[in-house]
């Protein structure tokens, strides 16, 4: 699970690295205009909720730091992501029971709590991260920025492509 979570976060690292190869003004503009910052903040909030669950036993994906500086500062996003990736490498991620609390209705406040386990929630964060990496990839493509083919490819899709005889899926790291 550690490796899989690390690899999903690596996709975000690759995106930021690609932006950092551009002139600063262009990178900053794309970070804002393509909503890269909002997607990154959102994904990092989910990973942080998972991190907090290891302390409290409750993961609450609704507790987000909406509008924080990660949304507008790509260098801060890089630092935050680096710290999170370090946490993934050093934290005890052995499976254990945890609870999940979440709002379930958009028309009225309706919060429920569910039983889960750490590995199930790591899987959720992995898939959620890759899903948003795919959105970022599509948004940047509209601005002419090409990201590696493997960005935004979910593990199940990669398996399907391998089984179907498709060309090898390149790793997303450079």
Contacts of 164 (CB under 8 A, 6+ apart): none
How many Å apart are CA 117 and CA 99, to the nearest integer? 7
Instruction: Determine the pLDDT at residue 159.
Output: 87
* Of residues 132, 53, 65, the one with CA closest to residue 93: 53
In a domain, 12, yes or no: yes
What percent of the chain clears pLDDT 70, i.e. is strictly above it? Answer: 95
**pTM, entire model:** 0.91
In a domain, 45, yes or no: yes
Q: Average pLDDT, stretch 70-79?
A: 95
In a domain, 96, yes or no: yes
- Residues 3-18: tens digit of each pLDDT: 999 999 999 999 999 9
What percent of the chain clears pLDDT 90, i.e. is strictly above it? Answer: 83
Instruction: Determine the pLDDT at residue 173.
Output: 45
Instruction: Determine the pLDDT at residue 168.
Output: 59
How many Å apart are CA 37 and CA 31, to the nearest integer? 6
How many Å apart are CA 57 and CA 62, to the nearest integer? 15
In a domain, 53, yes or no: yes
- Residues 47-67: tens digit of each pLDDT: 999 999 999 999 999 988 888
How many Å apart are CA 148 and CA 134, to the nearest integer? 11
Quickly state the pLDDT bin for 171 (edges 50, 70, 90): low
- Kindly tell me if the per-residue pLDDT of 174 is higher than 80: no
Instruction: Determine the pLDDT at residue 94.
Output: 96
Q: How far is CA 30 from CA 11, 26, 33, 34, in A?
A: 17, 6, 5, 5
Specify the pairing of strand 111-117 against strand 58-60: unpaired
In a domain, 71, yes or no: yes
Quickly state the pLDDT bin for 165 (edges 50, 70, 90): confident
List helix spans (H) across 21-97. Answer: 24-33, 36-56, 74-90
Pseudo-torsion of CA 47, 48, 52, 58, nearest 10°? -50
In a domain, 172, yes or no: no
- Residues 88-111: tens digit of each pLDDT: 999 999 999 999 999 988 899 999
In a domain, 117, yes or no: yes
What domain range includes position 10? 2-163
Q: How many structural domains comprise the chain?
A: 1
Instruction: Determine the pLDDT at residue 170.
Output: 58
As a whole number, the mean pLDDT across the chain is 92
Q: Average pLDDT, stretch 68-95?
A: 95
Tokens describing residue 33: 């205009």
Q: Average pLDDT, stretch 119-137?
A: 97
Q: What CATH number has the domain bearing residue 27?
A: 1.20.120
Q: Average pLDDT, stretch 133-149?
A: 96
């Amino acid at each position: 699970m550690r490796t899989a979570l690390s690899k999903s976060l690596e996709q975000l690292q690759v995106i930021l690295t690609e932006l950092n190869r551009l002139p600063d003004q262009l990178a900053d503009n794309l970070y804002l205009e393509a909503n890269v910052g909002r997607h990154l903040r959102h994904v990092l909030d989910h990973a942080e909720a998972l991190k907090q669950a290891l302390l409290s036993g409750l993961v609450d994906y609704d507790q987000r730091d909406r509008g924080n500086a990660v949304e507008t500062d790509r260098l801060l996003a890089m630092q935050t992501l680096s710290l999170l990736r370090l946490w993934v490498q050093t934290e005890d991620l052995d499976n254990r029971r945890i609870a999940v609390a979440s709002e379930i209705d958009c028309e009225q406040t309706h919060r429920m709590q569910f039983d889960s386990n750490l590995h199930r929630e790591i899987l959720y964060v992995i898939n959620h991260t890759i899903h948003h990496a795919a959105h970022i990839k599509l948004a940047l493509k509209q601005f002419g920025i090409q990201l590696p083919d493997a960005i935004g490819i979910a593990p199940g899709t990669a398996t399907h492509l391998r089984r179907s005889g498709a060309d090898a899926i390149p790793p997303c790291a450079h």
